Amino acid sequence: MTTRATKQLSGPRTATRTYQVAVIPGDGIGPEVVREGQKVLEAAAAQAGFHLAWRRYDVGGERYLRTQEVLPESVLEELRTVNAIYLGAIGHPEVKSGILEQGILLKLRFALDQYINLRPVKLYPGVWTPLKDKGPEHIDFVVVRENTEGLYAGVGGFLRKGTAEEVAVQSSINTRHGVERCVRFAFDYTRRRGKQKKLTLCGKTNVLTYAHDLWQRVFNEVAAEYTDVQTEYTHVDACCMWMVKNPEWFDVIVTDNMFGDIITDLGAIIQGGMGIAAGGNLNPRGVSMFEPIGGSAPKYTGKNVINPLAAICAGGMMLEHLGEVRAARGIERAVMRVTGTKLKSLAAGEMGYSTSQVGDLVVQALDT
Ligand code: IPM
Ligand code: MN
């Protein structure tokens, strides 16, 4: 287990838990939000009595433009040895779309076999949602997105490219192993979360009659081992409708990579937008990576106006994953205090505070 802290003697009698955390601030507003996240994580760690040993990696658009390197092999090898990775944002306006996303973000997810993308959708107090008549009591669910297969596997090709008879094929890869480990994680997670104890499979079995037939069969088989977890199925199109009309019906949703990508942007907006939406790319037996799910937002870069709460919440998820559950809960409570009593809006430039002031507010709101 790489997530376990290495114990280091910090004095004659006390042993401090130390976690090696790789930081990839990345592009655009990434460095600004990561700075606030680190500020909050440092404060939480000091309170809880553990230590975060940061290792900063300079990868992203600027490095690519300077050196043509996307993700050097030596960096990847070092990332394999840390307890967790904390990522800001990837995407640069002067780099062709796809190069950095595929070469860094997707590459890390695949190379480190981070087969779960865990994305909580929770409306915090005081946060505006576009859903009429819905409040924090209605919006609190988690999407478990398969993160290494499906349409993201990169299987496909062209035939007769550039001609009038061109064919483009992009295949969705669904393996028994990949689907089963994702579905099992989702059942375990639903049980552990202990809320409604309801797991919804989101698919499209009426059209994807091979891929989602496999998902459905695996889901039903694994469900038999979790009789305490209630199960449901919804087609992805209907899922979008219910997420808007009755989000309170959901507790945990498990779905494939592409559908998970799409429904979690819908999830992000109903929880208040990209300023608050966080996620974890998990390899339960390896190195996991935590990130705000929004992009690099070039137009806000360097202005100290972007909302750092998504990065702060991603940091909280990282602590929970590392086993520092009390500190993680403390960060979430502090964020809820700040949204509930301080911020005017979660939107960039409209918070009533700067990026660094929001970080300070969360630090102040941590329980003492
Ligand atoms: C996300 C993003 C990525 C994805 C992109 C940037 C490749 O949209 O993390 O949801 O599609 O997974
Ligand atoms: Mn996405």
Q: Is the pLDDT of residue 333 over 50?
A: yes
Determine the distance separating the centroid of ligand 1 and the alpha carbon of 300, expressed in angstroms. 20
pLDDT per position as a tens digit, 174-228: 999 999 999 999 999 999 999 999 999 999 999 999 999 999 999 999 999 999 9
pLDDT per position as a tens digit, 276-314: 999 999 999 999 999 999 999 999 999 999 999 999 999
Query: Looking at the CA of 147, which ligand is closest?
Result: 1
8 A C-beta contact, residue 286 and residue 2: yes
3-state secondary structure of 220: helix
111: Cβ below 6 Å to ligand 1? no
Of all protein residues, the one whose alpha carbon is nearest to atom 8 of ligand 1 is: 261
Q: Residue 2: its pLDDT value, please?
A: 46
Q: Closest ligand 1 atom, CA of 291?
A: 9
DSSP 193-211: H-SS-EEEEEE-TTT-TTH
Of all protein residues, the one whose alpha carbon is nearest to atom 6 of ligand 1 is: 101
Report how far residue 155's alpha carbon sits from residue 170's, in angstroms, rounded to the nearest whole number.
Answer: 6
**Which residue shows structure tokens 């790489």?**
2
Around ion ligand 2, residues with a beta carbon closer than 5 Å are 261
Mean pLDDT for 155-180 is 98
258: Cβ below 6 Å to ligand 1? no
Report how far residue 70's alpha carbon sits from residue 160's, in angstroms, rounded to the nearest whole number.
Answer: 30
Determine the distance separating the centroid of ligand 2 and the alpha carbon of 55, expressed in angstroms. 26
pLDDT per position as a tens digit, 129-151: 999 999 999 999 999 999 999 99
Q: Is the pLDDT of residue 49 over 70?
A: yes
| Choice from 100, 101, 109 to test ligand 1 binding pocket (greatest atom count within 8 A of CB) | 101
8 A C-beta contact, residue 69 and residue 63: yes
Q: Is the pLDDT of residue 15 over 80?
A: no
pLDDT per position as a tens digit, 52-99: 999 999 999 999 999 999 999 999 999 999 999 999 999 999 999 999
Q: Is the pLDDT of residue 8 over 60?
A: no
Least reliable range by pLDDT among 10-14, 318-322, 352-356: 10-14
CB neighbour list of residue 30: distance below 8 Å, 6 or more residues apart: 24, 60, 87, 88, 89, 90, 296
261: Cβ below 6 Å to ligand 1? yes
Q: Is the pLDDT of residue 6 over 60?
A: no
8 A C-beta contact, residue 212 and residue 106: no
Query: Looking at the CA of 106, which ligand is closest?
Result: 1
Q: Residue 145: its pLDDT value, please?
A: 98
Determine the distance separating the centroid of ligand 2 and the alpha carbon of 84, expressed in angstroms. 21
pLDDT per position as a tens digit, 254-264: 999 999 999 99
| Choice from 95, 105, 116, 151 to test ligand 1 binding pocket (greatest atom count within 8 A of CB) | 105
Q: Is the pLDDT of residue 14 over 60?
A: no
Q: Closest ligand 1 atom, CA of 261?
A: 10
Q: Residue 368: its pLDDT value, please?
A: 65
**Taking all residues of the chain, what is their mean pLDDT, rounded to a whole number?**
95
